[in-house]
């Protein structure tokens, strides 16, 4: 990494800490370790550490670093957790998670993006991420239930399949909204008896969650 990019990376991480999106050393370390420049398009490498989403082709985006940090923090991750991510996109969020938990399962509906992400994980030597091409609104039954679920695209409601695949004591973070321009980040908690609690958090803007239990 050149000096300019390195300084921008330090600046971004400091901003995310000031904004309270990064709240502990483990998440901060994950942001240091994962090179966002490897997940953006070649022509955007100089923009890799601006606090904004960027296009990755196919009408999709790599999420804004603030959102990645904020959602990662809300998941309250433990090193033994298994996490399901819906919407692999560039693979950046999954790579951050891979540094913080035991295993990440990520589902992407666009096969070209899933393949691209897999190659980046290989190049980085990341071995604890499994990628599947398919409709993530249905979860990934084979590896369910999950300690944590993160959905990085916004649908009209919380998919039933994902609620079922969340472990008792688990947390799911998901943007939901009738509007495709602005949505609400929901924090979903399942208690040990299986009762669901849903809390509205900040407003956000995500691409559409398409699929059987999405748009």
Pick one of 87, 139, 175, 177: the residue that binds ligand SAM (CB under 6 A): 87
Return the number of the residue (57 or 194) whose C-beta is nearest ligand SAM.
Answer: 57
Please provide residue 21's backbone torsions phi and psi, each rounded to the nearest 5 degrees.
Answer: -80, -35
Q: Which of 46, 63, 98, 179 is catalytic?
A: 63
Chain positions 20 to 79 lying near ligand SAM, rule: CB under 6 A, are 60-63
Indicate the length of the chain as a whole number. 215
Residue 92 binds ligand SAM (CB under 6 A): yes
Is 179 a known active-site residue?
A: no
Q: Is 161 left (phi over 0), alpha (psi -120 to 50) or beta?
A: alpha
Chain positions 107 to 146 lying near ligand SAM, rule: CB under 6 A, are 107-110, 113, 135-137
DSSP state of 155: B
CB of 93 to ligand SAM, least distance (A): 3
The continuous run of DSSP H or E covering 97 comes out as helix 92-98
Cα 67 to Cα 31, 37, 48, 109, 132: the distances in Å are 13, 17, 15, 21, 23
Sites of contact with ligand SAM (CB under 6 A) = 60-63, 86-87, 89-90, 92-93, 107-110, 113, 135-137, 152-153, 206-207, 209-211, 214
């Amino acid at each position: 990494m050149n000096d300019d990019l390195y300084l921008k990376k330090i600046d971004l991480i400091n901003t995310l800490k000031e904004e309270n999106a990064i709240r502990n050393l483990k998440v901060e370390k994950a942001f240091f370790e994962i090179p966002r420049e490897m997940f953006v398009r070649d022509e955007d490498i100089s923009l890799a550490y601006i606090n904004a989403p960027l296009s990755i082709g196919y009408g999709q985006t790599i999420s804004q670093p603030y959102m990645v940090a904020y959602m990662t923090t809300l998941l309250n991750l433990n090193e033994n957790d298994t996490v399901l991510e819906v919407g692999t996109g560039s693979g950046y969020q999954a790579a951050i998670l891979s540094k913080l938990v035991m295993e990440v399962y990520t589902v992407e509906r666009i096969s070209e993006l899933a393949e691209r992400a897999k190659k980046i994980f290989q190049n980085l030597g990341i071995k604890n991420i499994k990628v599947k091409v398919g409709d993530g609104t249905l979860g990934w039954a084979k590896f369910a239930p999950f300690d944590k679920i993160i959905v990085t695209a916004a649908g009209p409601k919380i998919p039933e399949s994902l609620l079922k695949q969340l472990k008792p004591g688990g947390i799911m973070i998901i943007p939901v909204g009738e509007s495709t321009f602005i949505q609400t980040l929901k924090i979903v908690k399942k208690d040990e008896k299986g009762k669901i609690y849903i809390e509205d958090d900040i407003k956000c803007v995500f691409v559409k969650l398409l699929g059987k239990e999405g748009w």
